Structure 1
Amino acid sequence: MAEIILIQISGDDRPGVTSALTGVLASYGVDILDIGQSVIHNQLTLGILIRIPEESESAPVIKDVMFKGYEMGVNVKFRPIPDDKYELWVGAQGKPRHIVTLVGNRITGKQISRITGIIAENGLNIDIINRLSGRIPQNGGPAPRYACVEFSVRGFPRDLDRMRTAFLHMASEDQVDIALQEDNAFRRNRRIVAFDMDSTLIQAEVIDELAKEAGSGEKVSRITESAMRGEIDFQESLRRRLATLKGLDASVMENIAERLPITEGAERLISNLKKFGFKTAIISGGFTYFGEDLKKKLGVDYVHANKLVVEDGKLTGEVEGDIVDGPRKAQLLREIAEKEKISLQQVIAVGDGANDLPMLSIAGLGIAFHAKPKVKEDAGQAISHFGLDSILYLIGLRDRETD
């Protein structure tokens, strides 16, 4: 019967190590069943699982690999793998995989200990850990915007909801953001990112800004907050707020659009999404005038929002057509996906309010952005401490790949 041996190589990394060692294996006609390599601070760790042909013996292979390792200045260890353990390893290939992404201002031992503890408590095994953020200079120089580590884990979570809740609590207590995604083909092929506008793509509620101009700011703000918490129906709340704007001069919209603050990281995120071929959309319960303005500034592809009715240069306090509420947002997201001929699993949706939950729930990746507690709990993922560009890490992009 063929022998199966795990070769473990460690030492200073330099070009040619893998080539030299596998060249020895090639001369004996061995099969490579698995191979993995990592380099941390120029220190190489390489593992090669090999199968010695039945007609050959392992001793000459081991001897020659050890000698070549000595020549290359690396340490080489060998471990025979029993048939039963090998078959267990083969059988594990059908287990689901998840990606856990940790984003912080810095990565600490406490954070890694805590997050890996949650992973272990749920019966999952960590296969790979990667740093996605850039290297941190010791003596000055530009530092990475964020610190990010990604864990590839394997197995069946004992309780997925409890695991998500544990990550949510850790994120709140440690002032970090943590995402847990199923690792599948869709995760690696996202194609559309859809944003809510107010308090997501911009750091304002436009209707509040309009109400200030109309002298109804405090009243509208109270209704807005209640709607965002999910306490009253969005359509009813919008009608109440719109009614306070009747007679407002439409020219104020231009001034408001000019002063709306774009959310931190939005421009960096969208410019990189465009570079990698993503389509972007604004799907908002706000207003088309401001959505179209952002479309020009940021290069967004689609805008769907409520169109304010203007007569004789004044707002009527009404909108044209159906109100874009939560169910309508989900429907618009479906229509965009159909138009682009992609699955909803390839869509990312980002929002902060209760009326965003329908579209967050149908997207392959739904992200509650700086959202109310109820929205964070119900959404698949949450970003609560960092800018919109931290979404690039959830896509799996590294700092060196982005602008």
Structure 2
Amino acid sequence: MSRNALVLTLLGETLPTALFSEVEAWLEEQGLSVARRRWLTGEAAAPADAACVAWEIEGRPLESGSIDLEALRAEALALGSAHGVDAAVQAASEWRGHRRLVCFDMDSTLIKAEVIDELARRHGVGDEVAAVTERAMRGELDFQQSFRERMARLEGLDEAVLEDIAVNLPLMDGLETLMAGLKRHGYRTAILSGGFSYFARHLQARFGFDEVHANELVIDEHGKVTGEVREPIVDAARKAWLLEDMATREGLSLSQTVAVGDGANDLEMLSRAGLGIAFRAKPVVREKARQSITTLGLDAVLYLMGHPRAALAVEASADTPAG
């Protein structure tokens, strides 16, 4: 396959038959052709909850460099959205299927919650914290300023509340399958979160994340949250820096990294990674990120990384002792 080739991946609970002919017609309009079509979920017996197919694309516009990749991605996104599926376009990189470091946001990515909102609700200041969040969304406060204001309202919260929330974190769909697959393939994994390390460490203990970088709550000698947080605060710039720092420490190029997140404060990290994926993100984040997943669970990240479900199933059965 040409070194200039692309991979178009379609993901959804089902893939409408009409979509395939539309994709082929669209590619023909672009002067591109399908070199290979591969079902990552299995064509004959696709699971009822997911369908994924990867198209390897080539053609003269790619070889001449005359194709506008960003425009192609935008058109693919629109085509997929019209059918209720995700469509992702990426270069057929030598690292596809062989990247080595995967970094995740935590809140609303690894878990189905924004922990600071739950802490505020338990402390009886949910509306106050929501008001600060709204000001930040309107651009009246930057992340660090809004974060400090929200933290101040948690002063006096009992550590027992943190423990109760931590042991009952609502996991994102597909997290367990994803982590089993990543560990099986030998990827290094990390949590890079603007949330709290108290909760990220619970996920680390359960799923074996190699590193955790998140904000550290200050708890006094009486087991009460002080409303302060230790420096440095993990914001958008810090996430991007941590991604690069980990890659450097591991002797990796950024092309060998993957980042997954849902918020605006993840965009810088997503743009630095070799494969940046917006997961169940707001429209503005989905449009700015190079790749996105909205229709399936977190384990669909494996498909964008080039791993078929069949390979994982075979390896999983190989790990199971014979009865």
**Matched residue pairs, number?**
307
Checking the alignment, whether the CA contact within 8 Å between 1:118 and 1:163 is kept in structure 2 is no
Paired with 2:164 and 2:2, the residues of 1 have a C-alpha distance of 57
Residue 218 of structure 2: aligned partner:
309
Q: Percent identity?
A: 48
Checking the alignment, whether the CA contact within 8 Å between 2:97 and 2:307 is kept in structure 1 is no
Paired with 2:134 and 2:23, the residues of 1 have a C-alpha distance of 33
Per the alignment, in what secondary structure is the counterpart of residue 397 of structure 1? coil
Q: Relative contact order (C-alpha < 8 Å, sep 6+): which is higher?
A: 2
Residue 317 of structure 2: aligned partner:
none
Residue 223 of structure 1: aligned partner:
132
Is residue 123 from structure 1 mapped to residue 27 from structure 2 by the alignment?
no
Is residue 184 from structure 1 mapped to residue 88 from structure 2 by the alignment?
no
Deviation, structure 1 residue 184: 1.8
Residue 178 of structure 2: aligned partner:
269
Q: Which amino acid aligns with 1:361?
A: S
Q: Which runs of 5+ in 2 are unaligned?
A: 314-323
Q: Which amino acid aligns with 1:114?
A: E
Deviation, structure 1 residue 226: 5.7
Checking the alignment, whether the CA contact within 8 Å between 2:105 and 2:192 is kept in structure 1 is yes
Is residue 242 from structure 1 mapped to residue 151 from structure 2 by the alignment?
yes
Is residue 349 from structure 1 mapped to residue 259 from structure 2 by the alignment?
yes
Q: Which amino acid aligns with 2:4?
A: P
Deviation, structure 1 residue 230: 6.5
Deviation, structure 1 residue 178: 1.3
Residue 194 of structure 2: aligned partner:
285
Residue 388 of structure 1: aligned partner:
298
Is residue 322 from structure 1 mapped to residue 226 from structure 2 by the alignment?
no
Is residue 147 from structure 1 mapped to residue 55 from structure 2 by the alignment?
no
For residues 8-27 of structure 1, the aligned pairs below 5 Å read none
Instruction: Decide which of 282, 285, 289 is 1:372's aligned counterpart.
Output: 282
Residue 22 of structure 2: aligned partner:
114
Residue 111 of structure 2: aligned partner:
202
Paired with 2:187 and 2:195, the residues of 1 have a C-alpha distance of 23
Checking the alignment, whether the CA contact within 8 Å between 1:206 and 1:286 is kept in structure 2 is yes
Deviation, structure 1 residue 134: 2.4
Residue 363 of structure 1: aligned partner:
273
Deviation, structure 1 residue 386: 0.9
Residue 295 of structure 1: aligned partner:
204
Deviation, structure 1 residue 221: 2.8
Deviation, structure 1 residue 216: 1.1
Residue 105 of structure 1: aligned partner:
13
Per the alignment, in what secondary structure is the counterpart of residue 251 of structure 1? helix
Paired with 1:230 and 1:198, the residues of 2 have a C-alpha distance of 21
Checking the alignment, whether the CA contact within 8 Å between 1:136 and 1:144 is kept in structure 2 is no
Checking the alignment, whether the CA contact within 8 Å between 1:230 and 1:355 is kept in structure 2 is no
Q: TM-score, normalised by structure 2?
A: 0.90
Moved more, 202-211 or 222-231: 222-231
Checking the alignment, whether the CA contact within 8 Å between 2:15 and 2:85 is kept in structure 1 is no
Deviation, structure 1 residue 392: 1.2
Paired with 1:222 and 1:169, the residues of 2 have a C-alpha distance of 34
Paired with 2:136 and 2:54, the residues of 1 have a C-alpha distance of 35
Paired with 1:285 and 1:385, the residues of 2 have a C-alpha distance of 25
Checking the alignment, whether the CA contact within 8 Å between 1:198 and 1:284 is kept in structure 2 is yes
Paired with 1:296 and 1:250, the residues of 2 have a C-alpha distance of 19
Paired with 1:204 and 1:162, the residues of 2 have a C-alpha distance of 33
Deviation, structure 1 residue 94: 5.8
Deviation, structure 1 residue 135: 4.3
Per the alignment, in what secondary structure is the counterpart of residue 148 of structure 2? helix
Paired with 1:379 and 1:373, the residues of 2 have a C-alpha distance of 10
Checking the alignment, whether the CA contact within 8 Å between 1:229 and 1:372 is kept in structure 2 is no
Q: Which amino acid aligns with 1:326?
A: A
Q: 1:360 to 1:107 in 2, by over 3 A?
A: same
For residues 254-265 of structure 1, the aligned pairs below 5 Å read 254-265=163-174
Checking the alignment, whether the CA contact within 8 Å between 2:41 and 2:47 is kept in structure 1 is no
Give the superposed CA RMSD.
1.9
Paired with 2:23 and 2:139, the residues of 1 have a C-alpha distance of 31
Deviation, structure 1 residue 115: 2.4
Residue 402 of structure 1: aligned partner:
312
Give the structure with the higher percent strand: 1
Paired with 2:48 and 2:209, the residues of 1 have a C-alpha distance of 26
Q: Which amino acid aligns with 2:289?
A: A
